[in-house]
Amino acid sequence: MIVFNSLKFFRLLKADILLALILMLTPMDSGLLWLVNFDERLGADYAPQNLAHINGYRIRSETKEAYERMLKDMEKVGISVNLQSAYRPYKYQQALLSRKISNLQALGYSKSEAQLLATKTVAPPGASEHQLGLAIDISVDGKLDASFGNTEAGTWIANNCHHYGFIVRYPKDKTKITKIMYEPWHLRYVGLPHSAYMYEKNMCLEEYIIHVQEAKLLMIWIDDGNYYKVSYSAKAPDAAEALDMSSFERGGAYIITEIGEYLK
Ligand SMILES: [Zn+2]
């Protein structure tokens, strides 16, 4: 639940002083909000560090932890899903696309037709979020298609994954912006409070980044007992100010997230 309330903000000033004392941490770009798409591509040499292992796949550790927590809660309501994909290196994505193009050519498409058609369903290398180690594909029966969105698991995920820091990255009503077809099975970990805000405001990642930039400061209260201040800066912020910052256009701009507890 997100509440915007200026009265609360003033009550929080005392907490802010405490916050400033606590946040004597060296800020590090978490990379959680990195935008990766057809226009914002990762280099062939980018690979996340310290990947954790899960069911034969590799994944960033915060994504694994959030996924496992979500899985447990799904089990409690009798829903089970399988992991179908997680971290995919640049070269693997390249191979996926080449295979798709060959398959289409085998079906009778010309090389240029096949290349165009293939990128509708398989992102070119560098344009896939799977290279970040923050994206997962899940299914109930091994199939990754739009029908997943109508299953009990797909519905649960669409309505609840934001509590765990995930977003359905390619929603049905955002295909014009994401340039990717509806993929109810593909989740991207962005962390809280971003996932909760995007869910509540029905924004995809592209829209959220522009929104933060335009709003300059968002105050977000969520039901994990914390409030967050999300702001935007064109240059690296002062070390004492940022608990978490995420860049987009690598090295370009920063989204800064600060956290504090509610004053009860
Ligand atoms: Zn995916």
User: pTM for this structure?
Assistant: 0.84
In the structure encoding, which two tokens stand for residue 33, read together? 């909000």
CB 138 within 8 A of CB 84: yes
pLDDT, tens digit, 9 for 90 and up, residues 130-175: 999 999 999 998 888 899 999 999 999 999 999 999 999 999 999 9
Establish if 38 belongs to a structural domain.
Answer: no
4 and 54 inside one domain: no
67 and 94 inside one domain: yes
122 CA → ligand 1 middle, Å:
9
- What's the number of domains the chain is made of? 2
**Which residues are identified as catalytic?**
183
Q: Is the pLDDT of residue 256 over 50?
A: yes
99 and 63 inside one domain: yes
108 and 139 inside one domain: yes
d(CA 247, CA 45): 18
Which burial class, exposed, middle or buried, applies to 184 when counting CB atoms under 10 A from its CB (0-12, 13-18, 19+)? buried
10 and 60 inside one domain: no
Q: How many CB atoms lie within 10 A of CB 244?
A: 20
23 and 148 inside one domain: no
Domain around 262: 1-33+203-264
148 CA → ligand 1 middle, Å:
13
| pLDDT-derived band at 257, boundaries 50, 70, 90 | confident
Q: How many CB atoms lie within 10 A of CB 115?
A: 16
123 CA → ligand 1 middle, Å:
9
Of the chain, the percentage scoring pLDDT greater than 90 comes to 58
Q: Is the pLDDT of residue 228 over 80?
A: yes
